[in-house]
Chains A and B, each alone.
Chain A
Amino acid sequence: MKLGKYSARMALILGFYAFLAILALFSKAYADVVFYILLVSVVSQSLNIIFGIAGLVSLGQVVFLGIGVYTFTFLISQGFNPCLSVIAGGFASLIFAVAVGAVLLRLRGIFFACATLILSVAVPYFIIGTGIVGGFAGVNIYKYISSFYNIHVLVFSLLVISLFTTILTIKILESPFGYSLRALKADHDAAETTGINTFRQKMLALCVSAMLTGIAGGILAIKQAYILPLVVFDPLYSIEAILVVLLGGPGTVMGPVLGAFIYEMLRDILMRFAPGFQAFIYGILVIAIILRAREGIVGLLKKNKKLQKLLV
């Protein structure tokens, strides 16, 4: 099925992003909300590439986010240019992903999943244990960023990254790379004997995913200003990403974006009416989706013939 570039689909996608942009311009409070939606969106879209398309379970996506945050924090406190620092955050995550992938991607997927989980705990404790970049007490980078801090610029940056990732995902799905990923998700060994270099494709997917999440981390660092290891590496980010991907539709393009939007509304409701119950409900939702609706919202909507042309 070809996904045409100039069609109702693109209009829908651009319309959605335009909606978010307008919402953000409304007020600072709304901008905050949209910031968070887009952050979760980028992390989820990145996870979608390795989990939704390639079927590689990652339980510790937060580690790529956190490395982006810390790389930015370190560089900005040394006086580097903020834009370069953000991009460097992406590269740091990329390098980390390459190292992790080189060891783990040759093994069964469960090892990779467990390792991401363990690493998302290990890295913050490494920071705390060695005391680098502030260690347990963290670092306050307010003084480095206050000169250029602007919530709308941050939102706009994330929006651009999210849109980029959306188009990238479309391109991937339409390319031999995307077909290879979907094939190796379906049957790893048969993919190998059909000519697919599964290791290389998984590694590539992981690198793309890590880099995008790392860049988002750099931007998150600017927003947070006070960088604490256990706050930055909060496992909730990993859980959110998994929930959003499953909710929206793993393997679809707009699923994670839509999922992020719905998730934020859910989170807001829970915060008002049942604080303290959030993670509990997220867990139940994930289980419910896995048992009943593994295709996610967009996946289910795509089953309708009329909507198939419109959704992606």
Chain B
Amino acid sequence: MPILQLENVTKKFGGVVALNNVTFQVEKSEVLGVIGPNGSGKTTLINVISGVYKPESGKLIYKGTNITRVKPHLRCRMGIARTYQVVRIFSGLTVLENVMVGVLNGTKHGKISMEEAMKEAESILSYLGLDKMKNLQAELLNIQYRKRLELARAIGMDPELLMLDECLAGLTPSEVFEMLDVIKRVKEDKDTTIIMVEHLMHAVMNISDRVIVFNEGKIIAEGKPEEIAKDVKVAKVYFGDRELALKFIKR
């Protein structure tokens, strides 16, 4: 059974239709890449799935349960975690405390003590190479470490569905490499399903099991990365040039 199903989901902002009758599924443990031009509705999709926005119509079904009306914080406790396009860490808290907030309020909410949460947070920080700065105030971190911290916080929630919103944006090539490595490890070690909105083509095409392509609020293509790279519609929407698209699949 798919872990997440969207059925005829529509989200409007006044006159703008950000998601237009969107239907798709995400299989358990897969990495789903979400690509598309700017403004095509990718971030809105994440916002709708995480509960920040309520769709005008349609259904969201997560692990068999209809979560369309479920509040955001409850979705977290059910196992849905996300990161933000523009990093949103908790300033005023230390790096360790940031991750602890995730641990305390994710799927383990109410079932974990402060000491256990701290240990869990510490292990996640070492997993991500942030343990040396665990007592640093979070706002002092640079962008690369901030992104990692946000990822750590999301992982701390022990999610079954992890949504990453352009987590590679603004990183240097080596930083991208490290981040992708982390994401691969998370997927393998914890069997997490990942939805990854991304612009960096080689990253998305490489790491995804499947890719869906958005344009103007609709899904215009769905399939394996190689199929998508050859898809004329996708190429038109992005480049207008097929050859260029094929180059990207080869990393």
Contact = CB atoms under 8 A, between A and B. Distances in A.
Interface of A: 1, 174-176, 179-180, 182-183, 185-187, 189-198, 251
A179 B100 contact: yes
A299 to B, nearest CB: 11
Contacts of A176: 104-105, 114, 117
A179 B94 CA distance: 11
Interface of B: 50-52, 71-74, 76-77, 81-82, 84, 88-94, 97, 100-102, 104-106, 109, 114, 117, 135, 153, 157
Contacts of B117: 176
A180 B76 CA distance: 14
A183 B90 contact: yes
B90 A195 contact: no
A113 to B, nearest CB: 20
A191 B81 CA distance: 11
Given A176-B104, A190-B84, 7 more contacts: A176-B105, A179-B100, A182-B92, A187-B91, A189-B52, A191-B101, A192-B73
B101 to A, nearest CB: 5
Contacts of A193: 50-52, 72-73, 76, 81-82
A198 B84 contact: no
B91 to A, nearest CB: 5
Contacts of A180: 101, 104-105
B88 A190 contact: yes
20 contacts: A175-B114, A182-B92, A183-B90, A183-B93, A183-B101, A186-B91, A186-B93, A189-B52, A189-B88, A190-B84, A191-B101, A192-B72, A193-B51, A194-B102, A194-B153, A195-B77, A195-B104, A195-B109, A196-B105, A251-B92
Given A179-B104, A180-B101, A186-B91, A194 B157 contact: yes
Nearest to B105: A195
Contacts of A185: 92
A179 B88 contact: no
A190 B92 CA distance: 14
B90 A182 contact: yes
A187 to B, nearest CB: 5
Residue from A193, A197, A198 with most neighbouring chain B CB atoms (10 Å): A193
Contacts of A192: 51-52, 72-73
B140 to A, nearest CB: 13
A258 to B, nearest CB: 21
A193 B153 CA distance: 11
Contacts of B97: 179, 182
B61 to A, nearest CB: 19
B51 A174 contact: no
Nearest to B94: A1
Nearest to A251: B92
Contacts of A194: 73, 76, 81, 101-102, 105-106, 153, 157
Contacts of A196: 73, 101, 105
A144 to B, nearest CB: 46
A186 B105 contact: no
Contacts of B71: 197
A303 to B, nearest CB: 11
A195 B102 contact: yes
Contacts of B93: 179, 182-183, 186
Given A1-B94, A1-B135, A175-B114, A197 B104 contact: no
A194 B100 CA distance: 11
A16 to B, nearest CB: 26
Residue from B90, B109, B153 with most neighbouring chain A CB atoms (10 Å): B90
Contacts of B102: 194-195
A174 B113 CA distance: 11
A196 B97 CA distance: 14
A108 to B, nearest CB: 15
Contacts of B50: 193
Shortest 9 CB-CB contacts between residues of A and residues of B = A195-B105, A195-B76, A186-B90, A190-B88, A176-B104, A192-B72, A197-B73, A183-B101, A183-B90
B175 to A, nearest CB: 22
B114 A195 contact: no
B88 A187 contact: yes
Contacts of B106: 194-195
Contacts of B157: 194-195
A225 to B, nearest CB: 43
Contacts of B90: 182-183, 186-187, 190-191
A196 B98 CA distance: 13
Nearest to B87: A190
Nearest to A185: B92
Nearest to B102: A194
Contacts of A198: 73
A197 to B, nearest CB: 5
A179 B52 contact: no
Contacts of B72: 192-193
A295 to B, nearest CB: 10
